Structure 1
Amino acid sequence: MSQSVAYYNEHAQAFLDETLYVDMSALYDSFLPHLPENAHILDAGCGSGRDSREFLARGYRVTAFDASDKLAGLASRAISHPVSVRTFDQVSEYQTYDGIWASALHKVGKTAIWQTADRRPGRDEYWLNGVFQKCDNTRE
């Protein structure tokens, strides 16, 4: 288990409590208009499920996953929608999604998402949202 997954497993409830109701409207409004009606969105590294909940409320189909089993379980209950436990490298069906929402890229690095884009045979265009955060990986 990675240090990141161990951290989120240990702090799952606190993370959910702190993030589930954060307003991300500005980011949604820059991403969603590019998707077709009834689009299927992959919420990769969904964390608390906040974004999945909003996409579902707006009428989109959502597949959500997180690497933390404890966070995935809490998120699934909080949003009343399945959240699977897996990592980016365990997802092979990228071509089935109209958009990929990946706000957790600071946890996996940019390489994982670019490899994601390369795994989409048969698709000429898709929309990807990623939030990259600079991190120095030091511990106190």
Structure 2
Amino acid sequence: MTLNYYQNNAQTFFDGTVNVDMTSLYADFIRHLPQHALVLDAGCGSGRDALAFYQQGYRVEAFDASPELVVLARQHTNLPVKHMTFTELDAVQKYEGIWCCASLLHVPYAELPGVMDKLANALKPDGIWYLSFKYGDGEREQTGRRFSDMNESRLAGLIAALPDIAAEAVWTTQDKRPDRHEIWLNALLKKR
């Protein structure tokens, strides 16, 4: 269902997200990164964030589950964006930073522990991991997409199952898109 939405609406989604100013969210993430760190943009959508990190001197790998968005992200970033899903990630202690901006929110809640375990395994010790979800405490379908909404207690439960991961910061923000008024739960996680 969600994948079909992005296949059928890839250009509209790209156009609506590619120019959103995410600078304030980048700042907290990159202050934890060493120079020339390898960053994974997991569920990269338009490629907006992958390109921003690349332009700041980081080495970047990116993937998305939507073949159409992968094509658009490759064109936008000139980076070799991969077509894959979270469940296909098999890297071990490879990345100094992992960026999951509005991407994990499409994973069914029952599957999030396994997906988050894969991402945690891909992070190097002392690595930093950003993630964001629409704020809430349930699962829903909207406009042909599945959402797993997240609040502080639901996120704390997911983090507690990851033995080497601790929350550095958890906070809420308003949607960065000017025509949206949603609240987002953001988190920076650190690997011990």
Task: Please give the TM-score of this superposition, normalised by the length of structure 1.
Answer: 0.89
Q: Matched residues in 1 for 2:115 and 2:25: separation?
A: 18
Q: SS at the partner of 2:16?
A: helix
* Aligned with residue 44 of structure 2, among 38, 46, 60: 46
Partner of 1:77: 75
Q: Give the percent of matched residue pairs that are identical in Structure 1 and Structure 2.
A: 38
Q: SS at the partner of 2:125?
A: coil
Does 100-109 or 112-121 show the bigger shift?
A: 112-121
* Aligned with residue 68 of structure 1, among 66, 69, 75: 66
Q: Matched residues in 1 for 2:13 and 2:5: separation?
A: 10
Q: CA contact under 8 A between 2:104 and 2:132: conserved in structure 1?
A: yes
* Alignment root-mean-square deviation, CA: 1.8
| Structure having the larger proportion of residues in helix | 1
Please give the per-residue CA displacement for 1:46-75, whole angstroms capped at 9, x wherever unaligned. Answer: 000000010011010000000000111111
Number of equivalences: 137
| Structure having the larger proportion of residues in strand | 2
Regions of 4+ moved over 4 Å: none
Alpha-carbon spacing, 1:79–1:68, altered in 2? closer, same or farther (3 Å): same
Displacement of 1:136: 3.9
Task: Please give the TM-score of this superposition, normalised by the length of structure 2.
Answer: 0.66
User: Which 5+ residue runs of structure 2 have no aligned equivalent?
Assistant: 144-192
Which has the greater radius of gyration?
2
Alpha-carbon spacing, 1:118–1:74, altered in 2? closer, same or farther (3 Å): closer
User: Which 5+ residue runs of structure 1 have no aligned equivalent?
Assistant: none
Q: Matched residues in 1 for 2:62 and 2:122: separation?
A: 18
Does 2:137 align with 1:138?
A: no
Q: Matched residues in 2 for 1:18 and 1:112: separation?
A: 30
Displacement of 1:124: 2.8
Q: SS at the partner of 1:124?
A: strand
Displacement of 1:5: 1.0
Alpha-carbon spacing, 1:101–1:139, altered in 2? closer, same or farther (3 Å): closer
Q: CA contact under 8 A between 2:95 and 2:122: conserved in structure 1?
A: no
